[in-house]
Amino acid sequence: MKKIGFIGLGIMGSRMANNLQNNGYDLIVYNRTKEKAKNLLENGAEWAASPKEVGKKADILITMLSTPEIVKEIAIGEQGFLTSLKDNSIWLNCSTVNPSFTKEMDSVSKQFRVRYLDAPVAGTKAPAAKGELLFLVGGDKSSVNEITPLLNIMGKKTLHLGKVGKGASMKMLINQLLGQSMVAFAEAMVMGEAMALEKETLFNVLLNTPVVAPVISNLRDKLEHDNYEANFPLKWIQKDLHLSSISAYENSVATPNLNSTKELFAQAKQQGYGDLDFSAIYKFLNSKK
């Protein structure tokens, strides 16, 4: 069986790797914070001292890292894995990054004779744990077919959207809508409460109207109980909106709504909300009343 390298064992990566391991895959893993690999190591995964060490032994390498800057550092920095990956191996990048960065990584990978696949995911901590993510994939068909068994373990559905960059493009749109929907709902809630409508009534009525995105219903518990332990950290939606904004600029599209939403999350991050769940934008707006 092929050896799978996994780099980036945060909220999402640790759960995705765990599913691969539970389905019999042999893993070699690296994470900046080794502690987060504890369960995987106890269950037989091999620890690598650096990304480069992962590259030496992996047949397929998966990254689930925070930002384009970190992906680049881990791929082609001093201890990067691209120099050590075997010829013709596959790098499956599941991190949320922008399409132009994705294309850059694709061409760098080609220089190292590595096949790059663009595979961001939709779905958060619970779907990652249950193997129910949606994969948005860009890349050549035969490479996608090769990694489909892995995607089927980590996800419930894969959409092959075309060549490299198409996965990232679709992901930009999904998170743009997610951020905007969250802010629209949070603003309405804060205003409703200011007009002395009961909080419970607001939830009951608004969440049952078609004007609220279905995803918001999953966040009701967090908003009701002031529990903002991160499933999706606020700093990452702000990063994604920033990447979307770069993509809009690169494509000469005006996105005023996206940019005002991005700046609102930036303000919340500056006020110390970055490590809370992104739904804490409601708490942030409430604090401004």
**Cβ at position 221, least distance to ligand NAP in Å:** 16
Active site residue ranges:
171
Residues that bind ligand NAP (CB under 6 A): 8-13, 31-33, 36, 64-66, 70, 95-96, 121, 124-125, 231-233, 236, 240
- Looking at beta carbons only, is 158 or 231 nearer to ligand NAP? 231
Smallest distance, Å, CB 250 to ligand NAP? 19
Query: Least CB distance from residue 36 to ligand NAP, whole Å?
Result: 5
**Cα distances (angstroms) measured from residue 243 to each of 69, 102, 162, 172, 249:** 12, 12, 20, 7, 10
Cβ-based nearer residue to ligand NAP, 206 or 244: 244
CB of 63 to ligand NAP, least distance (A): 9
Minimum CB distance to ligand NAP smaller for 121 or for 144: 121
Nearer to ligand NAP by Cβ, of 31 and 279: the residue is 31
**Residue with smaller CB distance to ligand NAP, 202 or 274:** 274
| Phi–psi pair at 27, nearest 5 degrees | -110, 145
Separation between Cα atoms, residue 191 and residue 51, nearest integer Å: 48
Min dist CB 100 to ligand NAP, Å, is: 16
